[in-house]
Amino acid sequence: MPESTKPATFRGGEVVNRLGPVQRIVIDRLHVVFDWCKRVYDALAEPLRKDPDAPSFRLSSPETHTTTIDGDVGWGNRPPARIHCGRCDALIDQPTSLDDIDCDHCVAEYSNEEFTDLQLAHLICPVCGDRMEHGQRHPQTFDVPEWATCHSCRYHWEFKHSY
């Protein structure tokens, strides 16, 4: 039996292959190709791996029908609002839709039901704190914002209603 075709033998726990020079070149080149493929795979997969330092990743609720990363639905989940005081025109923060509205600059106090009587300056993103774009789809029916989107972190809120 020629030297290059003899089966591998074990000597002291090591496998001793009896390969010819051409076979060794082919195997070496296969190792190079395999290592290159592994580096390409790692480079492609790295952005998809979970970052342990990143905040949790949640998809928005299906009711929002958007391609946002995070979101909520319902008036009870409305983002914090910044409202103009009806008496002194100062900006008042309303952390949740159920909180009463108290002006820090004058003595004006409003219940949460009086939200529609005051002028909304903007909604504040609960995720990153930036100003949100907001709007109404049915201004003849509702006098509150029906949606809001944060362009910084892609948070989206929808006012859920039945037609």
Q: Mean of the pLDDT values across residues 129-152?
A: 87
* Residue 151 predicted with pLDDT over 60: yes
Q: Record the pTM.
A: 0.57
Domain ranges of the chain: 3-48, 62-158
C-alpha–C-alpha distance, residues 104 and 85, integer Å: 10
CA distances from 85 to 9, 55, 145 (A): 89, 35, 18
Helix (H, G, I), strand (E, B) or coil at 38: helix
- Mention every residue, 6+ apart, whose C-beta is less than 8 A from residue 4: 18, 19, 20, 23
Q: pLDDT tens digits for 95-111?
A: 999 999 999 999 999 99
| Alpha helix segments (H runs only) across 7-93 | 21-45
